């Protein structure tokens, strides 16, 4: 498991949120994803540099990061 992650270059994180659910436009695939509050918060934190590498290495985040990686939203670095 990678210990550090970043947004995939080119992702602008165009999104809208309502009542704890988010829709996100994927700039690379052209797809739109339905995301949870947790997933969106993590993506924004990665974009803004608000998450430390040790937090990203926490086992609790492994599944979520793997899912976001499958969507080409994040990548290990």
Partner 1 sequence: MTTIASLTRAQLGEHLAGPGIHLRTGRFTTLLRSPIGGVADGIHLLYGDYPLGEGFADFHLDLVRPATPRRWLRPQVSLLYDGRSMFKPLPLDQAFPMFEWGLNWCVSSRANRYLIVHAAVVEKGGRAAILPAPPGSGKSTLCAALVGRGGWRLLSDELTLLRLDDGLLHPLPRPISLKNASIGVIRAYVPGSVMSRAVTDTVKGTVAHVRPPADSVVRAAETALPAWVVFPRFEAGAAITAEPMPRAETFMQLAQNCFNYSLLGAEGFAALAGLVERSQGYRFRYGVLDEALAFFDSLTGVRDA
- Of the pair 14, 52, the CB lying nearest partner 1 is at 14
Q: How far is the CB of 4 from partner 1 (least distance, A)?
A: 28
- Of the pair 5, 22, the CB lying nearest partner 1 is at 22
Q: What is the dihedral of CA 74, 37, 22, 75, to 10 degrees?
A: 0
Q: How far is the CB of 75 from partner 1 (least distance, A)?
A: 21
- Residues 68, 42 contacting (CB under 8 angstroms): yes
- Of the pair 1, 21, the CB lying nearest partner 1 is at 21
Helix, strand counts (H, E) of the chain: 3, 5
């Amino acid at each position: 498991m990678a210990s550090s992650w970043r947004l995939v270059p080119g992702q602008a994180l165009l999104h809208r949120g309502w009542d704890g659910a988010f829709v996100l436009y994927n700039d690379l695939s052209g797809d739109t994803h339905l995301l949870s509050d947790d997933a969106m918060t993590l993506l924004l934190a990665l974009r803004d540099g608000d998450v430390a590498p040790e937090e990203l290495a926490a086992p609790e985040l492994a599944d979520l990061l793997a899912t976001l990686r499958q969507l080409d939203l994040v990548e290990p670095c």
